[in-house]
Structure 1
Amino acid sequence: MSLEVIHRPSATGATGAPLLFVHGSYHGAWCWEEHFLPYFAERGHDCHAVSLRGHGGSSGRDRLHDLTLDDYVADVVEAMSQIDGTPVLVGHSMGGAVAQLVARDHPEAVAGLALLNSVPPAGLGPESLRLIFRHFRDLRALRAFNKGAGAFPTRLFYSDALPEAERAAVAARVQPESDKVNYAVNKRVLAAPSAPPVPLLVLGSTADRVVSARSVQATAKAYGTEPVLLDGVGHLSMLDPRWRAVADRTHAFLKAMAPAQEAPK
């Protein structure tokens, strides 16, 4: 198995915890490159972004629909083994579910957990009716795209404020997702935890069409913490026009988690 791991070294010397970014469904490590990797590298973090197998530049595309969440967990563990120090995992959407499973099974190997627009522990099943009633056409288009037919439904994932040219450029890079993984994230992902295994940030948006504010609140409640809910940010938050608000709140979490290790702004 060959994994693509994009590395952006700290621009100031590694004075903060190393970060490992885990993308969500249909995307790859590339989604973190434009904004998040340089933003956090400039603030003293050694930054890494993994393409889960079957995604981006990683191998496994030929058997994509046989891949499982356990495979993705193994990929993150492998990527962590290549990093000097104990990383904070930053997981987006389905990648947030993977990051939660890694932190549950390997808490000693994870310094912290930032869940951005993440699949909740109970899965996305409770979202199903809302998505069917409000976004039926987009869901139908997404199912067709996953079978290799039609265009990716950008309206479901991206903010209305994202310029059309940028939306098209991002959509040109997306790919189908594993059928098994899509099924798995609609079921319970992990047993309801009583407390976070590591320092935890749960962040979402009131404008997210995929993972609603209610699901973000459910994730926070499961871990006994308070969610951070931003306004006007679409599901693909790291490429949203308001991506900096997401990055700033994540950076504030990192500073509060380990202030002695943080680089000055």
Structure 2
Amino acid sequence: MTQQVRIMRGWEWGRPVRPVRREVLDAVPGLDDGRPPLLFVPGFGHGAWAFAEHWLGHAAARGFPAHALSLRGQPGSDPAPEATLRAYAHDVVQVAASLPRQAVLVGHGAGALVVAHALARYPARAAVLVAPVFGGWGTALAALRRNPLGTLPALFGGRLRVSRAQLFGRELPGEDARRHLARLGHPARRAQWQLLFGREPEPAVGDPPVLVLGSPDDRILPGPALTRAARRYGSAPLLFPGMGHDLMLDARWREPVDALLDWLEKEPSRG
């Protein structure tokens, strides 16, 4: 099957994305045996810190160079109140291109949508979508049903609000949950609006293998949306019952990251 890839994007050349300083946190193994680097991309309200808590060091301990990016406007990077999904995807592509080898892109939540857009511009070794929020009217309506008081302000340019029960499972100690919630930031209004009502990502360059992880008990992402995201890439989601939306911060955080790394050790790139 012939895949059509857009090479020229004239309007993007005419309106380049503004450069910013981006925070990138790193954890590298003591011995470099040539494994592909991982680039973790956080969702809205989060930052590189969400992966530095557990996954970054764990990946490095298993021999994978690991890097976590704070998108523009997220804690650690330059402010960007009018950031767009296009600007976020630009951030991912720029950082991925600076790594010494073809990277594996790992996006969480809305960061998975950013990764999906970046895949149309960067030939990734592979991609992992963790609890992917791909947006659209279906996601917006599901969010309104599950969290009306937190979602309604976002429809009018306000902040999307989430709770402890939506992000974490019951096993996470309350002290840890409060600490993580206190670090959540404010997503850019335009990017938040594009998440709810934006366009579908273009096809990925090079047809990289894609793994989708999630939880059937996720109170942000409805189960059918998780299945649709996986089917988009010709697979089925790998599920972790009892966990919340933030798999990388929840009590059993080792299970999904070990599954991710096990898959990378076995799955060759199709690119």
Does the 8 Å CA contact 2:83/2:191 hold for their aligned counterparts? Answer: yes
Identity %: 30
How far apart in 1 are the matches of 2:179 and 2:232?
A: 36
Corresponding residue number in structure 2 for 1:173 = 183
Q: Encode CA deviations 1:82-117: one digit per residue, 9 max, x unaligned.
A: 21111100100111111111112222xx11100000
Q: Which moved more, 1:37-46 or 1:183-192?
A: 183-192
Structure (1/2) with the larger helix percentage: 1
TM-score normalised according to structure 2 size: 0.84
Residue of structure 1 equivalent to 2:108: 92
Map 1:35-184 onto structure 2 (within 5 A): 35-59=54-78, 61=79, 63-64=80-81, 66-107=82-123, 110-120=124-134, 123-139=135-151, 147=159, 153-184=163-194
What SS class does the counterpart of residue 5 from structure 1 fall into?
strand
**Structure 1 match to 2:12:** none
Q: 2-side partners of 1:144 and 1:175: how far apart?
A: 18
Work out whether 1:198 is the aligned partner of 2:205.
no
| Residue number in structure 2 paired with 1:28 | 47
Contact 2:120 2:201 in 1 (8 A): no
How far residue 144 of structure 1 moved from its aligned partner, in angstroms, is 10
The one-letter amino acid of 1:43's match is: R
Q: Deviations over 1:232-257 (max 9, x none)?
A: 11101100112111112101210112
Secondary structure of the structure 1 residue equivalent to 2:226: helix
What's the C-alpha RMSD, in Å, of the aligned pairs? 2.6
1:222 pairs, out of 229, 232, 242, with: 232
Assess, with a 3 A threshold, how the Cα gap between structure 1 residues 143 and 167 changes in structure 2: closer, same or farther.
farther
Take 2:217 and 2:153, find their aligned partners in 1: how far apart are those partners?
Answer: 20
TM-score by length of structure 1 reads 0.86
| Offset, 1:135 | 2.3
Q: Which runs of 5+ in 1 are unaligned?
A: 260-265
Match of 1:262 in 2: none
Counterpart-to-counterpart distance in 1, 2:241 and 2:206: 25
Measured in 2, the distance between the counterparts of 1:23 and 1:53 equals 11
- Specify the alignment match of 1:263 in structure 2: none
Counterpart pick for 1:17 among 33, 36, 39: 36
| Partner Cα separation in structure 1 for residue 205 and residue 229 of structure 2 | 11
Structure 2 residue runs of 5 or longer lacking an equivalent are: 1-19
Between the aligned partners of 2:267 and 2:229, the Cα distance in structure 1 is 19
